[in-house]
Amino acid sequence: MVRRPTSLTEIVLSDPELEASIKTGLDAVEERLREAVRAADPLVNEAAAHLLDAGGKRFRPLLVLAAAQFGDPELPAVLESAVVVELTHLATLYHDDVMDEADVRRGAPSANARWSNSVAILTGDYLFARASDVVADLGPEAVRIQSRTFSRLVTGQIRETAGPLPGVDPVEHYLGVLADKTGSLIATSGRFGAMFSGASAEVVKTLTTYGETIGVAFQVSDDLLDIDADPDESGKTPGTDLREGVPTLPVLYALQSSDPAEARLRSLISRPLTEDDEVAEAIELLRKSPAMDAARQTLRTYADRSLSLVSSLPEGPAKTTLQSLAEVVVGRTG
């Protein structure tokens, strides 16, 4: 049986018409990232390069480069904008690890575990500053877009921390948080790639919306994988979010249920789970719950929106790639 691609990287690199352009672009992004984070102070230099050295999918710069295929991907501003979005993403990871009290990131000790919370927070601030320095050379409109994206990132994090206001549907609140915290930067990735490659205004608008929509879809699919993943296939350990008390989409749907048969499930998932047997029980109950079907339907809705958006784009390998990504996002959850 032929294994389906599970990421934008695999989709792009399986298409010979895109592979050379994207690979060259990603190599250039990697080199430029290292230049951008370099600092004179040894500690700042080491801390800033810490997560960069740990690797990562580089999904956001990859989307910039894919979106740039609808214009001229060789224009210098395309590369610089890809660096901006990845620096911004890396900065948020340093802050996230402090807030989550994480010990590991990308298979390596997190910056806060290796040094301290203060060093991790300040390193994140340093990377935000470096992103601002790079984006300043792209012009006032790019600075404005970056500023508004950063504002949405912070707003999403605050809304997640505070939780929904009284009377607000928790599912609606959660999806809004995902749009701000995750979707906004992916939207800017699509927007920058199209904009700085000289694509038409309509293509820029479409790829901006596509980026946000597919970003939310990816997070929802991760929520499902946390419960239903096969560790041997996905590399993910089921129940990680349950242990941390993170209210993922299936959990929120289950908590809204009034079915007496799900009383035990609601009791378990209303708090962080520290015992292995409780985690295993919650996973088993969630897998049988209608909440999983509701979350899968929400995922399908976002994927369908993505496909609808892509349908208006000019024909070619880049369009096919973005269509495949929307299908993969659903297929990775079974």
pLDDT digits (tens, 9 = 90+) for 62-110: 999 999 999 999 999 999 999 999 999 998 888 777 776 666 666 677 7
The answer to whether residue 314 scores a pLDDT higher than 90 is yes
Instruction: Please tell me whether residues 173 and 73 are part of one structural domain.
Output: yes
pLDDT at 231: 61
Q: Which long-range contacts does 115-119 make (Cβ < 8 Å, 24+ apart)? A: 115/43, 115/47, 119/43, 119/47
Q: Is residue 68 part of a domain?
A: yes
Overall average pLDDT of the 38-49 stretch: 82
CA–CA dist 239, 44 (Å, integer): 35
* Tens digit of each residue's pLDDT (9 = 90 or more) over 97-155: 777 666 666 667 777 777 778 888 888 898 999 999 999 999 999 999 999 999 999 99
Q: Is residue 36 part of a domain?
A: yes
Instruction: Please tell me whether residues 150 and 54 are part of one structural domain.
Output: yes
CA–CA dist 302, 293 (Å, integer): 14
**Domains identified in the chain, total number:** 2
The answer to whether residue 2 scores a pLDDT higher than 50 is no
* Tens digit of each residue's pLDDT (9 = 90 or more) over 52-67: 777 778 889 999 999 9
Domain of residue 279, CATH code: 1.10.600.10
pLDDT at 57: 80
Question: Which of residues 143, 173, 195 is at a domain's end?
Answer: 195
Contact predicate 68/196, CB 8 Å: yes
CA–CA dist 218, 249 (Å, integer): 12
- 309 burial (CB, 10 Å; 0-12 / 13-18 / 19+) is buried
pLDDT at 1: 38
CA–CA dist 277, 284 (Å, integer): 11
Overall average pLDDT of the 26-54 stretch: 85
Instruction: Write out the two tokens for 109.
Output: 């000790």
Instruction: Please tell me whether residues 144 and 288 are part of one structural domain.
Output: no
Q: Is residue 229 part of a domain?
A: yes
Q: Is residue 214 part of a domain?
A: yes
Can you give the residue range of the structural domain that contains 61?
12-195
